[in-house]
Amino acid sequence: MVTGGSRGIGRACAVGLAREGASVVINYTSNAAAAEETRKACEAAGAKALIVQADVSDAAQAKALIEAAEKEFGKVDILVNNAGINRDRTIQRMSVEEWDTVVQTDLSSIFYTTNAALGGMRERNYGRIINMSSVIGQMGNVGQANYAAAKAGMIAFTKTAAKEFSRFGITVNAVCPGFVETDMVAALSEDIKKTLIGLIPLGRFGTAEEVADTVVFICKPSGAWYTGAQFSMNGGQYM
């Protein structure tokens, strides 16, 4: 299950997991055409793929999403909590709605999906939960208090869930990418992009595929001893 699997990092995770033989559930909220493209890419990799529209910031829809996956494939072994948005504004100018929407979409959603998937994972004594946090949750950033707080909250949630679930054979890890070339970063002005690249010792943004490779690694047997970890990948922007 990849939440926000229609585009960007989520799409790369869905396709990467499909290549490794996983059946994939692609969740999206509004861009059905993009979800369809991801489905085709997963099927081209030889996997079964199901698209489910659900707004994961809504508890009932997040629960229904997990139930739809369990109905189709019998279980959810891997949950990639990737769906996320940003609404950037300085704290002084930020509206309550901008705060709430980001915290609800990026942070509360992972409680909803994890809570819904936990029962099945416990029954089978196996699970891999990966939370797509961000370097911004580790270092903070001007104009991103809502996003930074949500992403930092994801790290704390990850550590707590890792401690609670380890006895059930379930690992929980956070992936913390720096700036990655997706629609989220494409929305920035060329000037801001240039400034940001200047802050990255390796001199470039990351790719969605690089992030997805780490997600796939965590799900393989070779990733089995990682839990409660933060996988920082940011071109050296934050050490």
Binding site residues, ligand NAP, CB under 6 A: 3-4, 6-10, 27-31, 34, 55-57, 82-85, 105-106, 132, 134, 177, 179-180, 182-185
As measured in angstroms, the least distance from the Cβ of 24 to ligand NAP is 13
Tell me if residue 28 is catalytic. no
Q: Which is nearer to ligand NAP, 84 or 120 (CB)?
A: 84
Q: Which is nearer to ligand NAP, 22 or 148 (CB)?
A: 148
As measured in angstroms, the least distance from the Cβ of 181 to ligand NAP is 7
Q: Map the chain to HEC letters.
A: CECCCCCHHHHHHHHHHHHCCCCEEEEECCCHHHHHHHHHHHHHCCCCEEEEECCCCCHHHHHHHHHHHHHHHCCCCEEEECCCCCCCECCCCCCHHHHHHHHHHHHHHHHHHHHHHHHHHHHHCCEEEEEECCHHHHHCCCCEHHHHHHHHHHHHHHHHHHHHHHHHCEEEEEEEECCECCHHHHCCCHHHHHHHHHCCCCCCCECHHHHHHHHHHHHCHHHCCCCCCEEEECCCCCC
| C-alpha span between 102 and 151 (Å, rounded) | 10
Q: Which is nearer to ligand NAP, 156 or 221 (CB)?
A: 156
As measured in angstroms, the least distance from the Cβ of 36 to ligand NAP is 11
Q: Which is nearer to ligand NAP, 120 or 177 (CB)?
A: 177
Q: Which is nearer to ligand NAP, 84 or 127 (CB)?
A: 84
In the set 28, 112, 147, 238, the catalytic residue is 147
Catalytically active residues, by annotation: 147
